Amino acid sequence: MSGHGDAQPMTAHKSGPLRGTASVPGDKSISHRSLIFGAMAVGETKITGLLEGQDVLDTAKAMRAFGATVTQHGPGAWSVQGVGVGGFQEPADVIDCGNSGTGVRLIMGTMATTPITATFTGDASLRKRPMGRVTDPLALFGTQAYGRKGGRLPMTVVGAANPVPVRYALPVASAQVKSAVLLAGLNVPGETVVIEREPTRDHSERMLLGFGATLNVEKTAEGHVITLVGQPELRPQTVAVPRDPSSAAFPVCAALVVEGSDILVPGVSQNLTRNGLYLTLVEMGAEIEFLSPREEGGEPVADLRVRFSGAMQGIEVPEERAPSMIDEYPILSVVAAFSEGRTVMRGVKELRVKESDRIDAMARGLEACGVRIEEDEDTLIVYGMGPGGVPGGAICATHLDHRIAMSFLVCGMAAKAAVSVDDASPIVTSFPIFEGLMAGLGASLSRG
Ligand code: S3P
């Protein structure tokens, strides 16, 4: 598990053209949800294409601890024998969610309206992250939570014995909070309502409908009003997990900045709640073709042909786009460093409470690579140095954050001098085949 073993330094050297096909693993958000919804259904859910990253494996382990039978049949092929809504048993030991904010927050929501008690913990990164954003709305159902100062893990959650339905307007644009409240609402009589001002990833809503829940989404002046009818019997499903657009971002952006590259990235989600990075790259002048648009695993997808794009132009990323690309700002800031002019990212303070403070981690690392940065609490501005123009030659700190590690390794593939990361081990949380996949395209990576 990341953060528990020895640090694994890794170095990316200036690389030749990247060529070939980059088949990235399954979507992390949908993988967590397929295990959790499978555990809430009555009968056997079959999953293919599951991301076997550490975050998802930790959720699988947690589902077993709550009484579901979770079995691996082959690479990416899993089944979950669910216990039904309200059927969770009390775990015999602490639930360790490792590095995963999504895992811990969704699971807290799922058990919050069942009269059992569970204690949650995680690695050094997860233990710094705020859980109050989930336990505050869960308290409205009657759930109690006792954590460390600032709502930090380890935390004990006491599920509500007689939960009451809740109407909750999200104070932050967060799919994790939205999903935690909806999952809690599953075991509550009556209607649970979540209102989100800005749309965030909608996988929970899509999957709840797929598993047979009654859910309605109304677009109003206050935003999306999501109404869930409680205590359904969820029907087991066959889930084909589509590839992860957030993982695809790394080979895509590497090909854009490494001279001479021309790669194909099949099956990248075009879900409007996830595709903000791709819109932004196209606006910057990236050469991306969206081929064979189709539906896979209930998500709109396309095959992306991506070529080295020469001089891309920095832009002001529209603030309202942030929720649809929240995990992609680190890699966008690397593309920005190889573009011309300023790239301005505003309204991004949520980045400060991710696996690391991603504004700070990117700012310090890019500065060490010779890039001019401006930042404030809610903003990151990167001054581009043009194609091949980033000096590099730095060792960047990754702070137990997989996306920071992969972003700086991509930076090193195109910079003048090699870029190292102090610890590449967190990459296993979301993209365990990153090193082999990038090397297969022609990237020059070395251990140490
Ligand atoms: C996720 C939601 C996002 C995202 C995370 C996955 C999800 O977090 O950053 O990687 O699967 O719901 P927030 O809900 O905190 O924005």
Q: Is 327 a catalytic residue?
A: yes
pLDDT of residue 1: 42
Question: Which residues have CB under 8 Å from 293's CB, separation 6+?
Answer: 270, 300, 301, 302
Find out whether the beta carbon of 174 lies less than 6 Å from any atom of ligand 1: yes
Find out whether the beta carbon of 179 lies less than 6 Å from any atom of ligand 1: yes
pLDDT of residue 336: 99
Closest CA to 100 of 33, 196, 38, 8: 33
Find out whether the beta carbon of 24 lies less than 6 Å from any atom of ligand 1: no
pLDDT in tens, 103-162: 999 999 999 999 999 999 999 999 999 999 999 999 999 999 999 999 999 999 999 999
The β-bridge relationship of strands 262-269 and 19-21 is parallel
pLDDT in tens, 213-227: 999 999 999 999 999
pLDDT in tens, 74-118: 999 999 999 999 999 999 999 999 999 999 999 999 999 999 999
Find out whether the beta carbon of 29 lies less than 6 Å from any atom of ligand 1: yes
- Residue bearing the CA closest to ligand 1, atom 15: 174
Considering the entire predicted model, what is its pTM?
0.98
Structure tokens at 168: 């909750």
Query: What's the mean pLDDT in 385-398?
Result: 98
Architecture of the CATH domain 28-229? Alpha-beta prism (3.65)
Return the domain boundaries, the chain.
10-26+242-447, 28-229
pLDDT in tens, 401-414: 999 999 999 999 99
Cα-to-centroid distance, 327 and ligand 1 (Å): 8
Cα-to-centroid distance, 266 and ligand 1 (Å): 23
Give the model's confidence band at 5: pLDDT under 50 very low, under 70 low, under 90 confident, else very high.
confident
Report the percent of the chain where pLDDT is more than 70.
99
In order, the DSSP letters of 297-324 are TTEEEEEEEEE--SS-B--EE-GGGGGG
pLDDT in tens, 267-277: 998 999 999 99
Q: Is the model's pLDDT at 417 over the cut of 80?
A: yes
Find out whether the beta carbon of 327 lies less than 6 Å from any atom of ligand 1: yes
- Residue bearing the CA closest to ligand 1, atom 11: 29
Q: Is the model's pLDDT at 4 over the cut of 80?
A: no
Cα-to-centroid distance, 180 and ligand 1 (Å): 11
pLDDT of residue 2: 42
Catalytic residue among 58, 327, 357, 423: 327
pLDDT of residue 299: 86
Q: Is 28-229 the same fold as 10-26+242-447?
A: yes
Average pLDDT score, the chain: 97
φ, ψ for residue 352 (rounded to 5)? -75, -15
Structure tokens at 112: 């919050």
Please name the helix (run of DSSP H) or strand (run of DSSP E) that holds residue 81, with its range, or none.
strand 77-83
Structure tokens at 396: 């960047």
Cα-to-centroid distance, 22 and ligand 1 (Å): 24
pLDDT in tens, 301-320: 999 999 999 999 999 999 99
Nearest atom in ligand 1 to 176's CA? 14
Find out whether the beta carbon of 201 lies less than 6 Å from any atom of ligand 1: yes
First vs last C-alpha separation in the chain? 19
pLDDT of residue 176: 98
CATH topology (fold) of 10-26+242-447: UDP-n-acetylglucosamine1-carboxyvinyl-transferase; Chain (3.65.10)
Residue identified by tokens 């989100």 is: 196
In order, the DSSP letters of 116-172 are -EEEEE--TTGGGS--HHHHHHHHHHT-EEEEETTTEEEEEEE--SS----EEE-SS
